[in-house]
Amino acid sequence: MTETRASFWDEPAETMSRDALRQLQRRRLGWQVARCHAASDLYRAKFREAGAEPGDIRGPEDLARLPVVTKEELRADQAAHPPFGTFFVAEPPTWRELHPSTGTTGVPVSTIWSAEDVATITDFTARTMWSFGVRSTDVVQNAFAYGLWVAGMSVHYAIARLGCLVVATGTGVTTDRQIEYFRLARPTVFLATPSYALHIAERLRERGIEPGSLALRLGAFGGEPGTETPTTRAKIESGLGIDAFDYYGLAEVGPTFASECSAKTGIHVAEDHILVECVDPDTRRPVPDGELGVLVFTHLTREATPMLRYWSNDYARLSTARCPCGRTHARAVGGILGRHDDLLVFKGAKFYPIQVEKVVRGLAPLADEFRIEVRRQRGGSMVETCTVVAECVAAPPAGLEGRLQQALRAELGVTPAIRLEPYGTLERTTFKAKRIVEL
Ligand SMILES: [Zn+2]
């Protein structure tokens, strides 16, 4: 393998024609559908609901006949059939790792990896990291959580597979300690959530540490959207002195299985292992290339707890056009554009926190942190009052509120209230930021 940025981790898999990829997916899907139907009560019930037999799912185009599976269903299934529910398919002696995933409700859903799953996950995770430029000579500081959020472990294995030195800081150390390791171990690659990357950049500035004095050259940021928001990407890149790439995953599916390549044209999904559909949220049938829909994932190779049509809740636009990098695997162009759950409906306008982020981070006197305080109608999703809370790095210049309001109106189609706070008022996170505050 030559160590150039243009090369591939697994060239045949990553650059095969769409026709060849479809054939491979058809074969693997047939295997997966049959074993899920044979071994899982949860999936057998899905087939019954659809009035379908495994033989009816002859290829990816037939998948929409099956209902989707949601995280809530998995959680309810595990509660009704403790401890692991009825969606594990491989035999327990093959199991190697248990990964409970956190969720907003706090009750975790347990995902299991077989020995073969660990090997597959390690390989496609190494592939994603190779695609954004990690090579064996790199030192990688991994600030993805090693605990309940499973990306820490899979990325750790992949770093070892790539032949790099790993600095396994996780999220369990202070921000100043992360910075100490930047100086001590001289990592060239940094992995974290985008909110945490911004927080570290802010701390470097406060301490007067020049990013150029560190060895960092690139970073990949996942666990929440934002890296592909141009203003956020620019702040991470200048704040850490790196090239920043978007990294995407879901605990039940990857954990991390999609990333930007060196061309930065959207996140490529490892489609030979994970089938992706972009579907209409109401009909749950695929939308044409380039149209907005919710991503739905199906495991083609996962053994222990495979997902058939897992509802991600994430909005994106898919492109199957060949990327300038040469990869043929589908890309979510612009990354994740919003979470289905985070949609705010205010005075008839619909918007996502990521749109507020784009505006706040585009106005120079404002710091990176922000919140959206909402009060909802009793039992409804409609927002009655909405206040964007932002921080100003110095005394607010005259007219700042007006400019912020104008920029928000242009982006959201509606004008929320605004409250400017002194710099440092809002809590920083080492993990995923909570943008919406319910009053
Ligand atoms: Zn590409």
Domain ranges of the chain: 1-340, 343-438
Q: Is the pLDDT of residue 380 over 70?
A: no
Separation CA 382–CA 374 (nearest Å): 10
For ligand 1, the distance from its centroid to the CA atom of residue 374, given in whole angstroms, is 38
Instruction: At 19, list the tokens.
Output: 């026709």
For ligand 1, the distance from its centroid to the CA atom of residue 423, given in whole angstroms, is 38
Q: DSSP of 208-270, one letter per residue?
A: T--GGGS---EEEE-SSS-TTSHHHHHHHHHHHTSEEEEEEE-TTT-SEEEEE-TT-SSEEE-
| Listed residues: CB within 5 A of ion ligand 1 | 261, 263, 323, 325, 327
Instruction: At 351, list the tokens.
Output: 């918007």
Separation CA 60–CA 316 (nearest Å): 19
Sign of CA dihedral 312, 410, 390, 419: negative
Separation CA 426–CA 248 (nearest Å): 26
Instruction: At 343, list the tokens.
Output: 């949609």
For ligand 1, the distance from its centroid to the CA atom of residue 330, given in whole angstroms, is 9
- By the 8 A CB rule, do 289 and 277 touch? no
pLDDT, residue 38, reads: 98
pLDDT, residue 75, reads: 94
For ligand 1, the distance from its centroid to the CA atom of residue 119, given in whole angstroms, is 24
For ligand 1, the distance from its centroid to the CA atom of residue 340, given in whole angstroms, is 26
For ligand 1, the distance from its centroid to the CA atom of residue 324, given in whole angstroms, is 6
For ligand 1, the distance from its centroid to the CA atom of residue 140, given in whole angstroms, is 22
For ligand 1, the distance from its centroid to the CA atom of residue 264, given in whole angstroms, is 7
Q: Which of 45-49, 186-190, 335-339 has the lowest mean pLDDT?
A: 335-339
For ligand 1, the distance from its centroid to the CA atom of residue 46, given in whole angstroms, is 35
Separation CA 348–CA 416 (nearest Å): 12
For ligand 1, the distance from its centroid to the CA atom of residue 155, given in whole angstroms, is 20
pLDDT, residue 226, reads: 86
Tell me the three state secondary structure of residue 143. coil
pTM of the model: 0.89
Portion of the chain with pLDDT greater than 90, in percent: 80
Separation CA 89–CA 408 (nearest Å): 48
| CA dist 347 → 214, 376, 377, 382, 413 (Å) | 47, 12, 12, 8, 10
For ligand 1, the distance from its centroid to the CA atom of residue 9, given in whole angstroms, is 13
Q: How many CB atoms lie within 10 A of CB 5?
A: 12
| CA dist 216 → 127, 130, 223, 244, 264 (Å) | 20, 16, 21, 11, 19
For ligand 1, the distance from its centroid to the CA atom of residue 276, given in whole angstroms, is 16
For ligand 1, the distance from its centroid to the CA atom of residue 42, given in whole angstroms, is 36
- By the 8 A CB rule, do 405 and 438 touch? no
pLDDT, residue 6, reads: 53
Type of residue found at 403: R
Q: Please measure the distance between the N-terminal and C-terminal CA atoms of the chain and give it in whole angstroms.
A: 55
Portion of the chain with pLDDT greater than 70, in percent: 96
- By the 8 A CB rule, do 329 and 269 touch? yes
For ligand 1, the distance from its centroid to the CA atom of residue 138, given in whole angstroms, is 21
For ligand 1, the distance from its centroid to the CA atom of residue 121, given in whole angstroms, is 20
Please give the angle made by the CA atoms of 60, 63 and 69, to the nearest 5 degrees.
Answer: 130
pLDDT, residue 341, reads: 77
Separation CA 213–CA 71 (nearest Å): 44
Instruction: At 112, list the tokens.
Output: 């299991």
For ligand 1, the distance from its centroid to the CA atom of residue 153, given in whole angstroms, is 25
How many helices (H) and strands (E) the chain has is answered by 11, 20
For ligand 1, the distance from its centroid to the CA atom of residue 328, given in whole angstroms, is 8
1-340 classified as CATH 3.40.50.12780: yes
- By the 8 A CB rule, do 204 and 221 touch? no
Strand 218-221 to 243-249 pairing:
parallel
Average pLDDT over residues 397-426: 92
For ligand 1, the distance from its centroid to the CA atom of residue 319, given in whole angstroms, is 11
Model confidence over 218-253: pLDDT tens digits?
A: 999 998 888 999 999 999 999 999 999 999 999 999
For ligand 1, the distance from its centroid to the CA atom of residue 278, given in whole angstroms, is 19
For ligand 1, the distance from its centroid to the CA atom of residue 323, given in whole angstroms, is 5
Nearest to 140 by CA among 149, 123, 152, 148: 152
Residue whose structure tokens are 């990553």: 14
343-438 classified as CATH 3.30.300.30: yes
For ligand 1, the distance from its centroid to the CA atom of residue 289, given in whole angstroms, is 16
Instruction: At 161, list the tokens.
Output: 């597979």
Model confidence over 355-377: pLDDT tens digits?
A: 899 899 889 889 989 999 999 87
For ligand 1, the distance from its centroid to the CA atom of residue 15, given in whole angstroms, is 10
pLDDT band at 429 (very low <50, low <70, confident <90, very high): confident
For ligand 1, the distance from its centroid to the CA atom of residue 16, given in whole angstroms, is 13
Separation CA 101–CA 148 (nearest Å): 6
For ligand 1, the distance from its centroid to the CA atom of residue 351, given in whole angstroms, is 29
Model confidence over 93-126: pLDDT tens digits?
A: 999 999 988 765 668 899 999 999 999 999 999 9
For ligand 1, the distance from its centroid to the CA atom of residue 334, given in whole angstroms, is 12
